[in-house]
Amino acid sequence: MMNKTQEKKPVPRSDDLDLSVVIPAFNEQDRIGLTLSEVAKYLRERKLRSEIIVVSDGSRDRTPEVVREKAREIPELALIELGENRGKGFAVRAGIEKARGRYILFSDADHSTPIGEFDRFLPLLEEGISVVIGSRALADSRIEVHQNWVRETMGKSFNLLVQSLVISGLKDTQCGFKAFTREAIQRIIPRQRVERFGFDVEILYLARKFGYSICEIPIHWINSPKSRVRIFRDSFRMIWDLFRIRWFDLRGEYTEKLNAKCQSPKSQ
């Protein structure tokens, strides 16, 4: 049975937003307030017509209350509450389905990639790139605080599997700072099947499958010591998800439900 979604303080419908920022959050009461302040400050300074959508993924702490408190000072902030924890991929999808911006960015609640990095994303999106993703693995990336040795090693090993099994040419599929044109993500998200941390690989796989351009750029990144990724259990799930993605595609689940009237994306 689908999880019942409760929406709080919905932003009035409009088609003139520049950017939607979607932030999935699970038990983030200690970090979400500062993150929202930083995001809102950035959007005001850049004069971007925008909205911020926080999706509380079944949080059992005060995350929803903190977001509601911040909404009193940030009118463009909206909260979606999921009644149970469904996973980061499910939460991101729930937020994107409500997003109204010309461009849609999803970013982690811990603000490990500062929102100011979007300054480097926006020109690429305006030039016609459909998907822009942050990468910690490129030579020019600035990693202020590294993950521990075990996490970094497992991350590199996972990327080797991604490149050999699912999608080649991308050095970091898991960085939680990705932006899409509205046209691209609206075509990708309805085909998403993976609900937890492997969803990043799936949406990038779909982006390439549907012919959208993907640009990977270096970013400033600060590791959070309170990562929500449980290193062994979630790593095995993510590896299993790689095989599921290939299986879904072989079964035609990514293509058979496409609207026959849907036009192919323009060549980029």
> Helices H, strands E: what count in the chain?
8, 10
Quick one: CA torsion of 119, 72, 87, 124, rounded to 10 degrees? -10
3-state secondary structure of 215: strand
Q: Which residues contact 135 (CB under 8 A, 6 or more apart)?
A: 141, 170, 171, 172, 175, 216, 217, 218, 219
Q: Which residues contact 169 (CB under 8 A, 6 or more apart)?
A: 163
pTM of the model: 0.84
Average pLDDT over residues 157-186: 93
CA 57 distance to own-chain centroid:
14
Per the model's pLDDT, the better-predicted residue between 266 and 52 turns out to be 52
What is the rounded CA–CA span in Å between residue 252 and residue 242? 16
Of 95-99, 121-125, 195-199, the one with minimum mean pLDDT is 195-199
> For the segment 127-148, what is each residue's pLDDT rounded down to a tens digit?
999 999 999 999 899 887 665 5
Strand partners of residue 145: 222
> For the segment 217-258, what is each residue's pLDDT rounded down to a tens digit?
999 988 776 655 555 566 788 999 999 999 999 999 998 454
**Whole-number pLDDT of residue 225:** 64
Q: Which residues contact 149 (CB under 8 A, 6 or more apart)?
A: none
> Which domains, ranges and CATH numbers included, belong to the chain?
1-111 (3.90.550.10)
